A = this chain, B = another copy of it.
């Protein structure tokens, strides 16, 4: 063991990291496990003891958090972002937001941009996680939290889309619906497009619903109305389960325009629990995630990551059913309990 006294700068050089990382190490700030181990070994080898001054020398904080979101023009996204913002503002942080407009390349540029601003932490509201994200998050010296999609190699907060989907499918089956359309969105969106859909379809199958159809749309009213109009021309479902409340609202309109009634002719279930879904008549039966809670948890979690406090790698946000009046009970008499 060499007994040469080594400086923070030399530790940083030997570990191949920035001096600020070494400083964070000494101040119990966020340092990736792998880097932490490297620094620990160098210190051991050199028998380094930090001076009191050095250990008080905090890594420079900017008190700024960067958020990257795919859109701000959606009910659920707006509510989540508003909640994150309120939480972090209260804690004294400046929150800056980049809206990528669903452009994945822009997400990557935005991570790099926030790194150049030396924000203290980054929250990425994702629609999809690919290899580049994994590499970037792995290499970043700034803590990154992923929200809305599951992230195997890091920390994420997710909505329980599979189980919410399953609950909706199960409810439709138990209410005696035998001819059900699931109206989904593109599968590029892993959470809504894949997990929610999977939950609905598996429940419908497991409960032996004889007729299960599936149509795909995007998140827009106009496309959705066209898809539903076309579908209703030669199909007669008793239930439509729509992947979001917005899609369900488009169904209301098309059902009304065909002279049919909700729920007497066609029942409807959505996901989201938008305030407006309560205001239509009959109000929509919908499965609601707690976006306000998700926002607070995201805020608390990024602060924990920055401080180096322990956090769960995956935190799951639950849901609840909002009854509404849009589902008809079609169970035969005697079948109902």
Contacts and interface: CB of A to CB of B under 8 A. Distances in A.
Interface stretch (A38-46, A144-152, A278-286): A278-286
Max chain B C-beta neighbours (<10 A), residue from A78, A81, A95, A110: A78
A221 B99 CA distance: 27
A315 B279 CA distance: 36
Copies assembled: 2
A82 B89 contact: no
A98 B106 contact: no
A27 interface: no
Contact of A99 (B73, B79, B82, B275): B82
A71 interface: yes
Q: Is the interface of A mostly helix, strand, loop or mixed?
A: helix
Contact of A97 (B98, B252, B281): B98
A261 to B, nearest CB: 11
A305 interface: no
Nearest to A278: B253
A214 interface: no
B85 A101 contact: yes
A256 interface: yes
A244 to B, nearest CB: 13
A275 B96 contact: no
A94 B98 contact: yes
Interface of A: 71-74, 78-79, 81-82, 85-86, 89, 94-99, 101, 103, 106, 109-110, 113, 117, 221, 249-250, 252-253, 256, 275-276, 278-281
